[in-house]
Structure formats: C-alpha cells, structure tokens
Amino acid sequence: MKQTYTELRITPQAYYALFVELINSLSDEAIEEEGTTIILRSEESLEMLRFGVETFANELSLALGKTVAVTIEMCEKENEDWIARYRDSIQPLHVGDFYIHPSWEPSISGKQNIVIDPALAFGSGHHETTYGCLLMLQKYVQRGQSVLDVGCGSGILALAARKRGAVVDLCDTDDQATTSAKENFVLNEESYHALWTGSVQKRTHEYDVVIANIIADVLIMISVDLEKAVKKEGILILSGILDKYINKVEAKYATSMSIIEKYQKEEWFTLVLQRK
C-alpha cells in the first residue's frame, strides 16, 4: 500500500446522470456518491480522468449552447483503509420483499435476499431509479415469465426478477458491467438464461417483461428496439427519467404503449407501460 492516495471530487451543476455514466466508462475505480458530488479515490493518478471530465463538460456546453458547470477538486491524502470506511457506510436496503445487502452482512430469513457489494458494482439499489424498478418488479413480474434487463449494470434488477421466479436475460454495452453482473449471479447462486455485451438489438425473441434503467435520452433513442422486445400485452418498465423529461419519454412511447403506472421518488420517475 502506498503512503498516499488521490481523491477526486466532481460536482456537476446539471446532467448528473450523464457525468456518472461518463466516469464509469472512463474508470474502473469504485465511485462514491455524496449528494450531487461524485468521489473517486485511487493510488494511481486520476489526472487523465479529471481532464476527461473537463473536456466532456466543455463539449457538452458547446453542443447545448449553454454553460454546463462542473466543480472539480483533486487532492492527495494520507493513505488509510478507505475501502473499509466506505463499506462501513453502506447500509442494507429493504425494498418491499427484497433485502439488498453486501456480502459482509447476513441475510434475513423470510426475505428475498440479494447480495451486492457496492464498491465492486454498477448499482446497489440505493439510487432512486433502481429503487423504483425494484418496487415495480414486485408488482409486475410473475413466476415463469421471461424477463430482459437492458443496461443491466450490476445485474441487480435481473437478480430481483430471478428471485421472483422469472427466466432472465440481461445485456449491457459495457463489458465491465456484464462481467460484474455475471459475478453477482455467481455470488447469489442464481442462474440466467442468456447474458451478452451489446444492445437490445441482439435479442432473439420477445419477452413478457423488459426493464431498462437508463437515462432518458437513451430511452428515447432506443424506444423502437425496446418496444419490439416486448410481447403483445407485455410490460415495459422504464427508469432513469428525471421529472423534467417524463412527458417527453411518455410521448415517445405513446403510439404502441399504454401507461399502466408511474412511480416518483425525489426527482426520478419509473414508468410502467403495456404494449398494445
């Protein structure tokens, strides 16, 4: 262990989800979210990551025709077991019948336990969008149904569907995410039908339920592919939608989908649709 490490604190004034997605694509370091600040710590240099975030903010500002401000602070600190400190700060999460907890916490009898180690994963259920999906899963996923998790990240939503007795497929365009999902299925001693690195376009059949917890712009961009992935009268669960984009997303899916339910937690929406 080196005597010092670098701490990088990134606070975007807008488009927070885009910055989180960017940082996950640029670095395999675990991130910590503190309010609207994204924190990374590493014994290696984070200078290139800082440069990448600054460049992204500038390019986004040019594309939108307005300033997208981001505050970046980087400093060197005395090394300590900050991973242990981070783990100590993670609390298990109850979402209806689901109990999401890290591997160092015991399972609870009578609950559908999902083991996710946040420091190693792309999603642990604590974010409002994942929370909303977990709630809706419990209402709309039935035993024996086929489920596709698009943009699976850690695989937490596919794992939740599997706990409900579904047959699950999952995909993500990031191979680090699919690797993480595969490891989490092993950790939970669960199985999936198919897992691939790539988009929803690689699917080979339609599903009873499709889940996509992705930012609103991407949900709009791949709307046709998501709609086609759902069986007639099947369910599509969308999340990652900020309140200011909900009308835009609803309008995009209105032709072939009917709204069944909307769930809001803080400024984030989870939308449940049924294919006509």
**Nearest by Cα to 98 from 80, 116, 79, 118:** 116
Residues 79 and 171 both lie in one domain: no
- Does residue 125 carry a pLDDT above 90? no
Mean pLDDT, range 149-167, rounded to an integer: 96
Q: Can you give the pLDDT at residue 164?
A: 96
Structure-model confidence comparison of residues 145 and 128, the more confident one: 145
Distance from first CA to last CA of the chain, Å, rounded? 58
> 139 in a domain, yes or no?
yes
Q: What is the pTM of this model?
A: 0.71
Residue with tokens 């939970």: 188
**Predicted confidence band at 218 (pLDDT cuts at 50, 70, 90)?**
very high
**Crossing angle for the helix pair 128-140 and 156-163, to the nearest 10 degrees:** 20
160-185 tens-digit pLDDT = 999 999 999 999 998 988 999 999 99
Structure-model confidence comparison of residues 2 and 150, the more confident one: 150
> 117 in a domain, yes or no?
no
Cβ neighbors of 182 (< 8 A, separation 6 or more) are: 155, 195
Structure-model confidence comparison of residues 30 and 109, the more confident one: 109
Report CA-CA distances (Å) from 119 to 34, 160, 273.
14, 19, 33
Q: DSSP letter for 205, please.
A: S
Q: Following DSSP, what letter does each residue of 5-17 receive, concatenated?
A: EEEEEEEESS-HH
- Rounded distance between C-alpha atoms, residue 158 and residue 250, angstroms: 24
> 101 in a domain, yes or no?
no
Report the CATH number at residue 203.
3.40.50.150
245-258 tens-digit pLDDT = 999 999 999 999 99
Residues 141 and 271 both lie in one domain: yes
Mean pLDDT, range 199-211, rounded to an integer: 97
Q: Which domain holds residue 180?
A: 123-275
Mean pLDDT, range 87-116, rounded to an integer: 88
Residues 169 and 234 both lie in one domain: yes
Mean pLDDT, range 211-216, rounded to an integer: 94
Q: Can you give the pLDDT at residue 59?
A: 92
Cβ atoms < 10 Å from Cβ of 143: 8
Under 8 Å between Cβ of 42 and 76:
no
Q: DSSP letter for 213, please.
A: E
Report the CATH number at residue 63.
3.30.70
**Predicted confidence band at 122 (pLDDT cuts at 50, 70, 90)?**
very low
Question: What is the total count of domains within the chain?
Answer: 2
